[in-house]
Amino acid sequence: MYDFIKKNIYLIFLFIITLFIGFLTFLTFIDKGFIELSDQNLQLLLIINIVLLALLFVFIFFEIKKAIRNDIDKDGLKSNKKYITYFALFTFIPSLLISIFSLFLFSFALEKYFDKKVTTVVNNSYELAKNYVDEVRNKIQSEIVLVAFDVNKSKKFLNDSDKEYKRFLKTQKLIRGVDEIHIIDLNKELLFSTLEDDAPYIPPLDQALNLVLDDDRPLKIINAFENRSAAIMRLQNFEDRFIYVVKYLDKNISKYLTESQEAINFYYTVEEKSTGIKISFAIIYIIIVSLLLFISISIAIRFSSRFFRSINNLILASTSIGQGNLDIKVPEVKTDKDLEILNKNFNQMIKKLRDQQEKLIINERHEAWGSLARKLAHEIKNPLTPIQLTIDRLKNKYSSELNNKDKENFSENLKVINNQIKQIEKLVNEFSDFARMPKPVFQKNDIIALINDNIKLLQELDQTIEIDFIHNNSQLFFNGDKEQLSRVFLNLIKNSIESIQQKTEKVSNFNKNITIELNEFDSHISLTINDNGVGFKNLNSNIKEILNPYFTTKKEGTGLGLSIVNKIINDHNGSIEFISKEDGAIIEIMFIK
């Protein structure tokens, strides 16, 4: 999913902008957007919608074309286009039918929305709430006149007594059915009130007070949106005194009035712009359907490429195997679980065939080189003894007859010949060892102990080299030939030591280190030797050639050591791999249990 979003980020961004402009156009038509409702703004929004919609279609076309080219055509799966076409049609046709039906249904519903009965209900709902407010307002107007009359009449009785005024006003409050009665002065300060606490008192506006200064008629004050209705009137029998009566409306009246007013405004706005609303709704629907269509086609392409690419890879791999190429490998692509298992099993089959072929080649190669080595050892060894005897005779016969100077030259020449004979004997012995490689005798052996023994032995060659042996077991038994396995470990660790010593000739100061790591797994044993010597950088050809008999990079090497190692590992159902790195080399050995 993340890859799909990443690949189509620009298309998704364009879709979001187009959808946003579509909804903004819809909201502007119904006067609910932040853009002012006007013909000029609506025309501009519609033009932007058309341009963005065209760009969206162009992007979708090119993205689908690119997806087909990258995921279908490049793998030779052009026949899969029909599946993509079917998939797209199965999505497009229902979407088209649903969109037509939805637009028709929306248009029908919008027309019913403006039915005469609905219009009547909308208008009446507001009128009912408004009539309730008018009724309360008129009641306040009549009640304040009666309260003012009783206050004026009781002037002498009240005599500005707080206690009498409290009792009198509370009685008036109960009789008249109001919530608050206040007597205030010219500065709107409370003189007497039905309130026990003056904190909730809200004075009238200055404009209201000014209107009744010289007028004995009551003034209605109403604020329905705050659920409050009031009236103020001048008291004729008092100087600069006013009676202020408050009546609280139903607590939901402001909500009813607001919602009713908004509903009426919205209703007539929608009625006026119904055609534009249909257009904007159609645009939004087309945008969403276009994206769904693109997603469905993209899914079809991915599904087809994942499914048929695996089959195509298997066909290509089987064809290569039929032609004798066992280096082929089926790419492990993300697909259905069954196909992934099939690909994995196919690759394992190829690996087993390749391993068997390599073992056969190694055995045949060793047999051929072994036969050659036996013949060479025999042919070379035969003349060595007469040559050595002849040299001894020459030395005994002529050494005493030569002067000191000639005698010294004579001895040096004989010494050179002897050294060369020893080199030939060493080569002959290696040939003999290579030719006489016995079949392994399999017994349980502790590999950790074998490696430790060889490390102790080889550490004496160069104590400046640090050898780290890492293993996750105290003992690790493996069924193999002890002598041959020990020969493998000795040869490989010795090669790493010599590689580091060779590097020392050019680089004097560096940390000399060999790391040997041994791990046991359920199916195999893994051994890794990692050194920081010269590595395999000098090899210009295939690194696997290092395993061939008589191939060597050493000045005095015969090229048989690694070939024997490879033969031993192969006989023990294992494999060896040489990995070059920037600073040294890595050797990986794997033994199948």
Span 391-424, pLDDT tens digits: 777 777 777 677 777 777 877 887 888 887 777 7
The chain-wide mean pLDDT, for the chain, equals 76
* Within this chain, domains 136-261 and 443-592 share the same CATH topology: no
Mark out the alpha helices in 177-273 (DSSP H runs). 206-211, 253-272
Q: What is the mean pLDDT of residues 358-380?
A: 68
Q: Does residue 299 register a pLDDT over 70?
A: no
For 369, list phi and psi in degrees, rounded to 5.
Answer: -70, -35
Per-residue pLDDT reduced to its tens digit, 254-274: 666 667 777 676 666 666 666
In terms of average pLDDT, the best of 178-192, 248-262, 278-292, 427-441 is: 178-192
CB 213 within 8 A of CB 234: yes
Q: Please tell me which of 290-294, 411-415, 483-487 the model is most confident about, judged by mean pLDDT.
A: 483-487
Euclidean distance between CA atoms 462 and 134, whole angstroms: 111
Mean pLDDT for the stretch of residues 230-257: 80
CATH of domain 136-261: 3.40.1840.10
- Of the ranges 14-18, 137-141, 188-192, 511-515, which one carries the lowest mean pLDDT score? 137-141
Q: Residue 581's pLDDT band (boundaries 50, 70, 90)? A: confident
For residue 356, pLDDT over 70 is answered with: yes
Among residues of the chain, what percentage have pLDDT more than 90?
Answer: 9
**Vertex 478: Cα angle to 476 and 483 (nearest 5):** 110
pLDDT, position 437: 65
Mean pLDDT, rounded, for 323-352:
75
100-114, 236-250, 347-361: range with lowest mean pLDDT = 100-114
Q: Give the type of residue at 359.
A: K
Structure tokens at 238: 């008092």
Least confident residue range of 41-45, 101-105, 214-218, 264-268: 264-268
User: Would you state the pLDDT for residue 125?
Assistant: 65
Closest CA to 380 of 436, 416, 435, 426: 426
Q: What number is the average pLDDT over the span 493-518?
A: 88
What pLDDT is recorded for position 444?
A: 92
- pTM value is 0.41
Pairing of strands 180-184, 242-248: antiparallel
d(CA 350, CA 328): 8
| Token couple for 443 | 């017994």
Is the model more confident about 341 or about 590? 590
| DSSP letters for 100-131 | HHHHHHHHHHHHHHT-HHHHHHHHHHHHHHHH
Helices (H), 177-246: 206-211
Is the pLDDT score of 547 beyond 70?
no
Taking the C-alpha atoms of residue 219 and residue 260, their distance in angstroms, rounded to an integer, is 27
Most confident of 35-49, 193-207, 257-271: 193-207
Show Cβ contacts of residue 193 under 8 Å, excluding neighbours closer than 6 positions. 169, 180, 181, 182, 183, 201
pLDDT, position 479: 92
Please calculate the CA angle 34-37-41 and round it to the nearest 5 degrees.
90
Predicted confidence at residue 529, as pLDDT, reads: 93
- pLDDT for 436 equals 60
Predicted confidence at residue 248, as pLDDT, reads: 80
Of the candidates 28, 18, 12, the residue with the CA atom closest to the CA atom of residue 48: 18
End-to-end CA distance of the chain: 41
- CATH number corresponding to 443-592: 3.30.565.10
pLDDT reading at 528 higher than 90: yes
Give CA–CA dist 465/503, Å, rounded.
12
Averaged pLDDT for residues 538-565:
58
The H-assigned helical ranges of 436-544 are 447-459, 482-504
Whether the pLDDT of residue 222 is over 70: the answer is no
The answer to which of 10-19, 81-90, 155-164 has the lowest mean pLDDT is 81-90
CA atoms within a 13 Å half-sphere pointing along the CA-CB vector of 485: 26
With 60 as the cut, is the pLDDT of residue 542 above it? no
pLDDT, position 550 = 47
pLDDT at 568: 87
Residue 391 near residue 414, CB atoms below 8 Å: yes
**E-assigned strand segments in 120-268:** 180-184, 190-193, 219-223, 228-234, 242-248
What is the per-residue pLDDT across 20-32, written as a single tens digit (0 to 9) for each? 777 777 677 666 7
Query: Where exactly are the structural domains of the chain?
Result: 2-113+273-314, 136-261, 337-435, 443-592
Strand partners, 244: 182, 232
What percent of the chain has a predicted confidence (pLDDT) above 70? 66
Q: Model confidence over 109-159: pLDDT tens digits?
A: 656 555 555 566 666 666 666 676 677 667 777 788 888 888 888 877 777
Q: Is the per-residue pLDDT at 536 higher than 70?
A: yes
